[in-house]
């Protein structure tokens, strides 16, 4: 009341709040100035490429740009009735132009994604397009009967959409038809959902395995005298200084049919020489190698949290009559939960996007979703689908992160 009437003034007569704002503004500008170089670097080299790439998952203007006439004609078509002569003539004009501009290959590739086998249809027809005369419908059908089939035109209509949910739907094993209806792909072609589920399964198993293997080690590290624990910590960190590829390939040497593990199993009579375990180039190999590689990411946050738990808590619990187990479970464990939270989140998020290790040791059924993204980026060159799968993966991770925040609480997380 008196404050609002007579605001407190600074020594030079300006209101104190304003003065404080000015003083803080300067320091804020300074702080911002310090992070500008890094911020610019991150935006240019990281955020912009990611956004541009992900954008391709829902945006594909190739057909619309290269075949403007037929795009216009296709947009008027309902996708069910017989294609009109207008559409055929627009197509021929576009084909002639595309051949002249040498862009017909791109167009053919684009449509081929919607209906396989149409690539040669486009390229061969484009070669002869300049010689065709009206009526174009009959002329085109004469060149190739496929032009008379409605599926060809439906594929072109889908391809002509600039903003398309088609890739996202494909990432989830659905297909988009020309009239806008969404149908599930036939069972033998649903590969993405299976891969997403397998990726989640492998990530969960690896995370749980890391937790069970890492917790006792972290506990040991934190309770040993400093000299001993430092030596052990170096052993934990040693893998970090070795190349990921080297570690993965050494697992191949360990686990392959004629490898160290199988030799040992045979030597101890656990299995016969002609009946060796297949430990690699399958899911087992992926699980073993990933657990080993990601284990330090579980141990380190656990260790740093456990290190900060004074031994007096457990001692206090025991002095009050708690057995070793009760003291651990009721007093020590709850205080190590922030470390578990951090380790689990770290390992899970690293695991869900893991690529090199499954690619090398995964074989057929040890592949993960990032391997299929890689396939579309480098082999099939369908970047749009790769971007769409990446987008789905990102959404899944964000959703899991949200669930994690609701259950565990993101502030209940400590890295050190």
Partner 1 sequence: MVEVSAVEISGVDKAKERRKTLSDASEKSEFVVFERVQKSYDGETLVVKDLNLTMARGEFLTLLGPSGSGKTTCLMMLAGFETATHGDIFLAGRPINNIPPYKRGIGMVFQNYALFPHMTVGENLSFPLEVRKLGKSEREEKVKKALDMVKMVGFEKRRPAQLSGGQQQRIALARALVFEPELILMDEPLGALDKQLREHMQFEIKHLHERLGITVVYVTHDQSEALTMSDRIAVFNDGVIQQLSNPDDLYERPENAFVAQFIGENNRLKGTIESLNGKIVHVAFDDGCQSKALAVNCGGKGSRTTLSIRPERVALGWDEESNTTRGEVLELTYLGDHIRYRMNVHGNPDFVLRLPNTSGHAELAVGESAKISWKSEDCRALDP
Binding site for partner 1 (CB under 8 A): 310, 312-313, 315-324, 326-327, 330-331, 334-335
Closest separation between CB of residue 332 and partner 1, Å? 10
Closest separation between CB of residue 311 and partner 1, Å? 9
Which is it for the CA torsion 178, 180, 186, 192, positive or negative? positive
Q: Which of 244, 199, 217, 210 is nearest to 343 (CA)?
A: 210
Closest separation between CB of residue 335 and partner 1, Å? 6
Instruction: Phi first, then psi: give them for residue 279, nearest 5 degrees.
Output: -100, -10
Closest separation between CB of residue 109 and partner 1, Å? 59
Pick 100 or 315: Cβ nearer partner 1: 315
Pick 139 or 305: Cβ nearer partner 1: 305
Q: Which two tokens stand for residue 318?
A: 């025991």
Q: Which helix (H) or strand (E) holds 24?
A: helix 16-42
Rounded Cα distance, 75 and 163, in Å:
13
Closest separation between CB of residue 322 and partner 1, Å? 5
- The SS3 call for residue 83 is coil
Residue with tokens 């004469």: 142
Closest separation between CB of residue 414 and partner 1, Å? 13
Pick 269 or 321: Cβ nearer partner 1: 321
Q: What does the chain come to in residues?
A: 416
Q: Is 332 exposed, middle or buried (0-12, 13-18, 19+ CB in 10 A)?
A: middle
Measured between alpha carbons, how far is residue 106 from residues 60, 156, 232 in Å? 12, 13, 57
Peptide bond into 63 cis (omega under 30): no
Pick 279 or 413: Cβ nearer partner 1: 413
Closest separation between CB of residue 225 and partner 1, Å? 10
- The residues facing 163 across adjacent strands are 59
Q: Which of 172, 197, 194 is nearest to 352 (CA)?
A: 197
Closest separation between CB of residue 299 and partner 1, Å? 22
Closest separation between CB of residue 317 and partner 1, Å? 7
Pick 141 or 322: Cβ nearer partner 1: 322
Pick 134 or 320: Cβ nearer partner 1: 320
Number of helices followed by number of strands (H, E) in the chain = 22, 2
Measured between alpha carbons, how far is residue 151 from residues 32, 157, 177, 273, 357 in Å? 57, 10, 10, 55, 41
Pick 201 or 324: Cβ nearer partner 1: 324
Pick 265 or 328: Cβ nearer partner 1: 328
Pick 301 or 358: Cβ nearer partner 1: 301
Q: Would you say 343 and 349 are in contact if contact means Cβ atoms under 8 Å apart?
A: no
Rounded Cα distance, 346 and 294, in Å:
9
Q: Which two tokens stand for residue 392?
A: 């789905």
Hey, how many other C-beta atoms are within 10 angstroms of the C-beta on 101?
Answer: 10
């Amino acid at each position: 009341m008196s404050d609002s009437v007579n605001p407190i003034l600074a020594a030079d007569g300006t209101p104190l709040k304003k003065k404080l704002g000015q003083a803080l503004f300067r320091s804020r500008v300074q702080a911002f100035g310090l992070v500008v170089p890094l911020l610019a670097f991150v935006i240019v080299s990281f955020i912009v490429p990611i956004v541009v790439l992900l954008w391709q998952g829902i945006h594909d203007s190739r057909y619309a740009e290269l075949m403007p006439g037929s795009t216009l004609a296709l947009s008027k078509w309902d996708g069910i009735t017989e294609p009109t002569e207008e559409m055929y003539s627009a197509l021929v004009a576009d084909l002639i132009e595309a051949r002249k501009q040498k862009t017909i290959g791109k167009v053919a590739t684009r449509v081929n994604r919607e209906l396989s086998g149409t690539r040669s249809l486009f390229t061969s027809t484009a070669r002869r397009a300049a010689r065709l005369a009206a009526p174009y419908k009959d002329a085109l059908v004469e060149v190739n009967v496929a032009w008379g089939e409605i599926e060809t035109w439906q594929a072109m209509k889908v391809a002509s959409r600039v903003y398309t949910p088609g890739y996202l739907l494909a990432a989830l094993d659905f297909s988009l038809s020309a009239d806008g209806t969404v149908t599930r792909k036939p069972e033998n072609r649903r590969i993405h959902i299976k891969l997403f589920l397998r990726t989640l399964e492998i990530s969960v198993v690896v995370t749980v395995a890391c937790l069970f293997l890492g917790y006792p080690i972290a506990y040991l590290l934190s309770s040993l005298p400093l000299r001993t624990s430092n030596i052990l910590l170096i052993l934990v960190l040693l893998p970090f200084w070795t190349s990921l590829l080297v570690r993965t390939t050494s697992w191949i040497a360990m686990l392959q049919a004629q490898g160290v593990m199988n030799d040992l199993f045979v030597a101890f009579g656990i299995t016969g020489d002609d009946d060796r375990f297949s430990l690699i180039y399958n899911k087992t190999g992926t699980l073993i190698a990933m657990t080993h590689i990601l284990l330090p990411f579980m141990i380190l946050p656990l260790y740093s949290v456990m290190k900060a738990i004074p031994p007096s808590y457990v001692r206090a619990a025991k002095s009050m009559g708690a057995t070793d187990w009760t003291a651990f479970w009721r007093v020590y464990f709850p205080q190590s939960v922030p470390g578990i939270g951090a380790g689990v989140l770290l390992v899970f998020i690293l695991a869900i996007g893991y690529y090199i290790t499954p690619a090398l040791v995964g074989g057929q059924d040890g592949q993960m979703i990032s391997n299929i993204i890689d396939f579309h980026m480098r082999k099939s060159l369908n970047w749009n689908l790769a971007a769409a799968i990446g987008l789905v993966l990102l959404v899944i991770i964000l959703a899991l992160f949200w669930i994690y925040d609701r259950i565990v609480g993101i502030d209940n997380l400590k890295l050190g």
